[in-house]
Amino acid sequence: MSVVTILVFVERERCMVCDKPRLLLVDDETVNLALLAGLLDEAGYLTECVSSGEQAWSMLQNSKNKFQAVLLDRCMPDIDGVEILKRLKKDPVLKFLPVIMQTAKNQDDDILEGLEAGAHYYITKPFEHSLLLAVVNSAIEVSQWHESLEKRVQDSTNVLGFLKSGTFHFKTLVEGENLISVLAKSCPNSSQLVTGLSELMVNAIEHGNLEITYDEKTQLLKDNTLQEEIIRRQALADNKNKHVTLSFQRKPEKIIFTIQDCGKGFEWETYLTMDPSRAFDTHGRGIAMAKAMSFDELTYEDNGATVVACVNLDERED
Protein backbone atom coordinates (compact mmCIF):
# COMPACT_ATOMS: atom_id res chain seq x y z
CA MET A 1 0.00 0.00 0.00
CA SER A 2 1.47 3.34 -1.02
CA VAL A 3 1.85 6.35 1.27
CA VAL A 4 -0.75 8.24 -0.77
CA THR A 5 -3.26 5.40 -0.40
CA ILE A 6 -2.68 5.29 3.36
CA LEU A 7 -3.19 9.04 3.67
CA VAL A 8 -6.41 8.88 1.67
CA PHE A 9 -7.65 6.04 3.86
CA VAL A 10 -6.80 7.89 7.07
CA GLU A 11 -8.50 11.07 5.83
CA ARG A 12 -11.57 9.11 4.83
CA GLU A 13 -11.73 7.51 8.28
CA ARG A 14 -11.28 10.91 9.92
CA CYS A 15 -14.16 12.39 7.92
CA MET A 16 -16.41 9.46 8.77
CA VAL A 17 -15.75 10.06 12.48
CA CYS A 18 -16.30 13.82 12.12
CA ASP A 19 -19.64 13.19 10.43
CA LYS A 20 -20.94 11.24 13.43
CA PRO A 21 -23.20 13.26 15.75
CA ARG A 22 -21.52 14.09 19.05
CA LEU A 23 -23.44 13.84 22.34
CA LEU A 24 -22.58 15.10 25.81
CA LEU A 25 -23.71 12.70 28.54
CA VAL A 26 -24.10 14.11 32.05
CA ASP A 27 -24.81 11.88 35.05
CA ASP A 28 -23.27 11.62 38.51
CA GLU A 29 -23.78 7.84 38.53
CA THR A 30 -20.93 6.12 36.68
CA VAL A 31 -23.00 2.99 36.00
CA ASN A 32 -25.63 5.03 34.18
CA LEU A 33 -22.95 6.87 32.20
CA ALA A 34 -21.33 3.61 31.12
CA LEU A 35 -24.69 2.16 30.10
CA LEU A 36 -25.65 5.24 28.07
CA ALA A 37 -22.25 5.56 26.43
CA GLY A 38 -22.14 1.91 25.47
CA LEU A 39 -25.61 1.93 23.93
CA LEU A 40 -25.11 5.21 22.03
CA ASP A 41 -21.59 4.37 20.85
CA GLU A 42 -22.93 1.10 19.45
CA ALA A 43 -25.69 3.05 17.69
CA GLY A 44 -23.10 5.14 15.85
CA TYR A 45 -22.85 8.28 17.98
CA LEU A 46 -19.76 9.87 19.44
CA THR A 47 -20.12 10.44 23.18
CA GLU A 48 -18.29 12.39 25.85
CA CYS A 49 -19.12 11.77 29.48
CA VAL A 50 -18.97 14.01 32.55
CA SER A 51 -20.15 13.23 36.06
CA SER A 52 -21.11 16.66 37.38
CA GLY A 53 -23.08 19.73 36.41
CA GLU A 54 -20.01 21.93 36.84
CA GLN A 55 -18.02 19.85 34.36
CA ALA A 56 -20.91 19.86 31.91
CA TRP A 57 -21.38 23.62 32.04
CA SER A 58 -17.65 24.26 31.66
CA MET A 59 -17.44 21.96 28.65
CA LEU A 60 -20.49 23.52 26.99
CA GLN A 61 -19.15 27.03 27.54
CA ASN A 62 -15.76 26.19 26.07
CA SER A 63 -17.09 24.15 23.12
CA LYS A 64 -20.34 25.81 22.07
CA ASN A 65 -20.58 24.19 18.65
CA LYS A 66 -19.12 20.81 19.55
CA PHE A 67 -22.25 18.85 20.53
CA GLN A 68 -25.48 18.16 18.67
CA ALA A 69 -27.42 17.17 21.80
CA VAL A 70 -27.08 16.72 25.56
CA LEU A 71 -28.40 13.91 27.76
CA LEU A 72 -28.71 15.56 31.13
CA ASP A 73 -29.38 13.99 34.52
CA ARG A 74 -31.85 16.05 36.51
CA CYS A 75 -30.55 15.38 40.03
CA MET A 76 -26.85 16.04 40.65
CA PRO A 77 -25.07 17.18 43.83
CA ASP A 78 -23.48 20.40 42.54
CA ILE A 79 -25.48 22.01 39.72
CA ASP A 80 -28.68 20.14 38.96
CA GLY A 81 -30.12 19.65 35.49
CA VAL A 82 -32.76 22.36 35.80
CA GLU A 83 -30.15 25.00 36.63
CA ILE A 84 -28.06 23.99 33.63
CA LEU A 85 -31.16 24.27 31.43
CA LYS A 86 -31.81 27.79 32.70
CA ARG A 87 -28.23 28.78 31.89
CA LEU A 88 -28.45 27.28 28.41
CA LYS A 89 -31.68 29.16 27.74
CA LYS A 90 -29.93 32.47 28.47
CA ASP A 91 -27.04 31.75 26.11
CA PRO A 92 -27.70 33.00 22.54
CA VAL A 93 -25.57 30.22 21.02
CA LEU A 94 -26.60 27.31 23.24
CA LYS A 95 -30.31 28.06 23.72
CA PHE A 96 -31.35 25.89 20.76
CA LEU A 97 -29.11 22.94 21.68
CA PRO A 98 -31.52 19.99 22.17
CA VAL A 99 -31.44 18.69 25.74
CA ILE A 100 -32.85 15.32 26.77
CA MET A 101 -33.61 15.30 30.47
CA GLN A 102 -33.16 11.90 32.12
CA THR A 103 -34.69 11.48 35.54
CA ALA A 104 -36.42 9.13 37.95
CA LYS A 105 -38.93 11.89 38.73
CA ASN A 106 -41.98 11.40 36.52
CA GLN A 107 -44.59 13.51 38.26
CA ASP A 108 -46.28 16.17 36.12
CA ASP A 109 -44.96 19.03 38.28
CA ASP A 110 -41.38 17.79 37.99
CA ILE A 111 -41.69 17.26 34.24
CA LEU A 112 -43.28 20.68 33.74
CA GLU A 113 -40.46 22.37 35.67
CA GLY A 114 -37.90 20.78 33.37
CA LEU A 115 -39.84 21.62 30.22
CA GLU A 116 -40.32 25.23 31.25
CA ALA A 117 -36.61 25.47 32.04
CA GLY A 118 -35.82 24.43 28.47
CA ALA A 119 -35.74 20.63 28.19
CA HIS A 120 -36.69 19.46 24.69
CA TYR A 121 -37.32 15.80 25.61
CA TYR A 122 -37.77 13.61 28.67
CA ILE A 123 -36.87 10.01 29.42
CA THR A 124 -37.41 8.33 32.77
CA LYS A 125 -35.10 5.88 34.49
CA PRO A 126 -35.02 2.99 33.91
CA PHE A 127 -35.50 3.72 30.21
CA GLU A 128 -36.27 1.46 27.28
CA HIS A 129 -33.37 1.25 24.83
CA SER A 130 -35.62 1.68 21.78
CA LEU A 131 -37.24 4.79 23.25
CA LEU A 132 -33.86 6.31 24.14
CA LEU A 133 -32.56 5.79 20.60
CA ALA A 134 -35.75 7.22 19.08
CA VAL A 135 -35.55 10.34 21.25
CA VAL A 136 -31.82 10.82 20.60
CA ASN A 137 -32.38 10.45 16.86
CA SER A 138 -35.16 13.05 16.99
CA ALA A 139 -32.94 15.44 18.95
CA ILE A 140 -30.10 15.03 16.46
CA GLU A 141 -32.44 15.72 13.54
CA VAL A 142 -33.65 18.91 15.25
CA SER A 143 -30.05 20.00 15.88
CA GLN A 144 -29.00 19.34 12.29
CA TRP A 145 -32.10 21.10 11.00
CA HIS A 146 -31.32 24.18 13.10
CA GLU A 147 -27.70 24.16 11.90
CA SER A 148 -28.80 23.97 8.26
CA LEU A 149 -31.24 26.84 8.76
CA GLU A 150 -28.54 28.99 10.37
CA LYS A 151 -26.16 28.24 7.51
CA ARG A 152 -28.87 29.10 4.99
CA VAL A 153 -29.44 32.44 6.73
CA GLN A 154 -25.71 33.17 6.78
CA ASP A 155 -25.44 32.38 3.09
CA SER A 156 -28.46 34.52 2.21
CA THR A 157 -28.12 38.04 0.88
CA ASN A 158 -29.92 40.77 2.78
CA VAL A 159 -32.02 41.72 -0.24
CA LEU A 160 -35.06 42.58 1.90
CA GLY A 161 -33.34 44.79 4.46
CA PHE A 162 -35.41 47.82 3.50
CA LEU A 163 -38.68 45.92 3.01
CA LYS A 164 -41.54 47.55 4.94
CA SER A 165 -44.22 45.02 4.06
CA GLY A 166 -44.84 42.14 1.70
CA THR A 167 -46.97 39.07 1.05
CA PHE A 168 -45.54 35.77 -0.15
CA HIS A 169 -46.95 32.35 -1.07
CA PHE A 170 -45.33 28.93 -0.95
CA LYS A 171 -46.46 25.30 -1.18
CA THR A 172 -43.57 23.09 -0.06
CA LEU A 173 -41.24 22.91 2.93
CA VAL A 174 -38.24 23.74 0.73
CA GLU A 175 -39.96 26.83 -0.69
CA GLY A 176 -40.91 27.90 2.82
CA GLU A 177 -37.39 27.44 4.19
CA ASN A 178 -35.91 29.43 1.32
CA LEU A 179 -38.33 32.28 1.95
CA ILE A 180 -37.96 32.49 5.72
CA SER A 181 -34.17 32.35 5.45
CA VAL A 182 -34.24 35.51 3.34
CA LEU A 183 -36.82 37.19 5.61
CA ALA A 184 -34.90 36.30 8.77
CA LYS A 185 -31.71 37.75 7.29
CA SER A 186 -33.36 41.17 7.21
CA CYS A 187 -34.28 41.03 10.93
CA PRO A 188 -32.41 41.27 14.24
CA ASN A 189 -31.38 37.98 15.85
CA SER A 190 -31.92 36.16 12.58
CA SER A 191 -30.59 32.78 13.80
CA GLN A 192 -33.20 32.40 16.54
CA LEU A 193 -35.94 33.96 14.39
CA VAL A 194 -35.48 31.52 11.51
CA THR A 195 -36.01 28.55 13.83
CA GLY A 196 -39.30 29.93 15.15
CA LEU A 197 -40.57 30.80 11.67
CA SER A 198 -39.63 27.33 10.47
CA GLU A 199 -41.65 25.68 13.22
CA LEU A 200 -44.72 27.73 12.29
CA MET A 201 -44.18 27.05 8.60
CA VAL A 202 -43.88 23.29 9.14
CA ASN A 203 -47.07 23.28 11.20
CA ALA A 204 -48.94 25.22 8.49
CA ILE A 205 -47.96 22.74 5.76
CA GLU A 206 -48.04 19.42 7.62
CA HIS A 207 -51.00 19.88 9.94
CA GLY A 208 -52.82 22.68 8.13
CA ASN A 209 -52.71 22.05 4.38
CA LEU A 210 -51.95 18.32 4.44
CA GLU A 211 -54.05 17.52 7.54
CA ILE A 212 -51.49 15.19 9.11
CA THR A 213 -52.76 14.58 12.63
CA TYR A 214 -50.59 14.44 15.73
CA ASP A 215 -51.00 10.67 16.07
CA GLU A 216 -50.32 10.16 12.36
CA LYS A 217 -47.08 12.14 12.60
CA THR A 218 -46.04 10.10 15.64
CA GLN A 219 -46.41 6.88 13.65
CA LEU A 220 -44.80 8.32 10.50
CA LEU A 221 -41.77 9.42 12.50
CA LYS A 222 -41.57 6.00 14.11
CA ASP A 223 -41.68 4.37 10.66
CA ASN A 224 -39.30 6.97 9.19
CA THR A 225 -41.80 7.70 6.42
CA LEU A 226 -42.87 11.28 7.17
CA GLN A 227 -41.21 12.86 4.13
CA GLU A 228 -42.67 10.26 1.79
CA GLU A 229 -46.14 10.89 3.19
CA ILE A 230 -45.75 14.66 2.79
CA ILE A 231 -44.81 14.22 -0.88
CA ARG A 232 -47.70 11.79 -1.42
CA ARG A 233 -50.28 14.10 0.12
CA GLN A 234 -49.03 17.16 -1.73
CA ALA A 235 -49.58 15.31 -5.01
CA LEU A 236 -53.24 14.58 -4.22
CA ALA A 237 -55.79 16.50 -6.29
CA ASP A 238 -57.36 18.08 -3.17
CA ASN A 239 -53.99 19.49 -2.07
CA LYS A 240 -52.30 20.50 -5.31
CA ASN A 241 -53.50 24.11 -5.15
CA LYS A 242 -53.11 24.58 -1.41
CA HIS A 243 -50.49 27.10 -0.34
CA VAL A 244 -49.32 29.01 2.71
CA THR A 245 -49.47 32.80 2.77
CA LEU A 246 -46.82 34.66 4.76
CA SER A 247 -47.23 38.40 5.31
CA PHE A 248 -44.42 40.60 6.61
CA GLN A 249 -44.88 44.04 8.13
CA ARG A 250 -42.13 46.18 9.62
CA LYS A 251 -43.23 48.88 12.07
CA PRO A 252 -40.98 51.25 14.04
CA GLU A 253 -41.46 49.23 17.22
CA LYS A 254 -41.85 45.67 15.93
CA ILE A 255 -41.92 43.24 13.02
CA ILE A 256 -45.12 41.26 12.45
CA PHE A 257 -45.28 37.91 10.64
CA THR A 258 -48.67 36.48 9.71
CA ILE A 259 -48.79 32.90 8.44
CA GLN A 260 -52.05 31.50 7.06
CA ASP A 261 -52.68 27.99 5.74
CA CYS A 262 -55.65 26.51 3.88
CA GLY A 263 -56.59 24.05 6.60
CA LYS A 264 -59.48 23.84 9.03
CA GLY A 265 -57.45 24.84 12.06
CA PHE A 266 -56.48 22.83 15.14
CA GLU A 267 -56.64 22.96 18.93
CA TRP A 268 -53.73 25.37 19.18
CA GLU A 269 -54.24 26.28 22.85
CA THR A 270 -52.63 23.07 24.07
CA TYR A 271 -49.50 23.62 21.98
CA LEU A 272 -48.61 27.14 23.15
CA THR A 273 -47.10 25.76 26.36
CA MET A 274 -45.04 22.71 27.23
CA ASP A 275 -47.43 19.90 28.12
CA PRO A 276 -46.15 17.12 30.42
CA SER A 277 -48.41 14.65 28.61
CA ARG A 278 -46.29 15.11 25.46
CA ALA A 279 -42.92 15.20 27.24
CA PHE A 280 -42.00 11.69 26.14
CA ASP A 281 -43.10 12.13 22.50
CA THR A 282 -40.59 12.71 19.71
CA HIS A 283 -42.43 15.83 18.48
CA GLY A 284 -45.11 18.31 19.52
CA ARG A 285 -43.06 21.04 21.18
CA GLY A 286 -42.16 23.26 18.21
CA ILE A 287 -44.86 25.93 18.67
CA ALA A 288 -44.13 26.29 22.39
CA MET A 289 -40.39 26.51 21.71
CA ALA A 290 -41.00 29.14 19.02
CA LYS A 291 -43.13 31.19 21.42
CA ALA A 292 -40.58 30.95 24.22
CA MET A 293 -37.36 31.50 22.24
CA SER A 294 -38.08 33.25 18.95
CA PHE A 295 -40.95 35.70 19.38
CA ASP A 296 -42.15 38.30 21.85
CA GLU A 297 -45.80 37.63 20.97
CA LEU A 298 -47.48 34.66 19.31
CA THR A 299 -51.24 34.29 18.84
CA TYR A 300 -53.51 32.12 16.72
CA GLU A 301 -56.63 33.18 14.84
CA ASP A 302 -59.24 31.51 12.58
CA ASN A 303 -59.41 28.36 14.73
CA GLY A 304 -55.65 27.95 14.30
CA ALA A 305 -55.37 28.39 10.53
CA THR A 306 -53.65 31.78 11.04
CA VAL A 307 -50.79 32.60 13.38
CA VAL A 308 -49.44 36.07 14.13
CA ALA A 309 -45.89 36.30 15.51
CA CYS A 310 -44.20 39.54 16.59
CA VAL A 311 -40.61 40.57 17.26
CA ASN A 312 -40.11 43.76 19.28
CA LEU A 313 -37.42 45.96 17.74
CA ASP A 314 -36.90 48.24 20.69
CA GLU A 315 -35.56 45.33 22.79
CA ARG A 316 -33.27 43.78 20.17
CA GLU A 317 -29.98 44.70 18.64
CA ASP A 318 -29.02 44.46 15.00
Could you report the per-residue pLDDT of 87-106, keeping only the tens digit for each? 988 888 888 889 998 877 66
Are 311 and 195 spatial neighbours (Cβ–Cβ below 8 Å)? no
pLDDT at residue 18, as a whole number: 54
Closest CA to 254 of 313, 295, 196: 313
- Give the Cα separation of 204 and 221 in Å (integer): 18
> What does the domain layout of the chain look like in residue ranges?
3-143, 156-312
pLDDT at residue 159, as a whole number: 61
- DSSP, collapsed to helix, strand or coil, labels residue 274 as coil
Percent of the chain clearing pLDDT 90 (strictly above): 43
pLDDT at 14 over 60: no
41 compared with 9, residue with greater pLDDT: 41
pLDDT at 15 over 60: no
- Give the Cα separation of 308 and 317 in Å (integer): 22
- In this structure, how many other beta carbons lie within 10 angstroms of the beta carbon of residue 98? 24
Could you report the per-residue pLDDT of 272-295, keeping only the tens digit for each? 988 777 877 888 888 988 998 899
User: What is the DSSP track for 144-183?
Assistant: HHHHHHHHHHHHS--TTTT--EEEEEE-SHHHHHHHHHHH
pLDDT at residue 17, as a whole number: 47
Q: List C-alpha distances in Å: 65 to 23, 87, 151, 210.
A: 11, 16, 13, 35
Could you report the per-residue pLDDT of 16-47, keeping only the tens digit for each? 445 789 999 999 888 889 999 999 999 999 99
Rounded average pLDDT over 247-266: 94
208 compared with 314, residue with greater pLDDT: 208
Output DSSP code: residue 237. T
CATH of 3-143, one of 3.90.1170.50, 3.40.630.30, 3.40.225.10, 3.40.50.2300: 3.40.50.2300
Rounded average pLDDT over 45-64: 89
Could you report the per-residue pLDDT of 191-212, keeping only the tens digit for each? 888 889 999 999 999 999 999 9
pLDDT at 166 over 50: yes
CATH of 156-312, one of 3.30.230.10, 3.30.565.10, 3.40.50.720, 3.30.2130.10: 3.30.565.10
pLDDT at 316 over 70: no
- Give the Cα separation of 292 and 312 in Å (integer): 14
Banded model confidence at residue 10, pLDDT cuts 50, 70, 90: very low
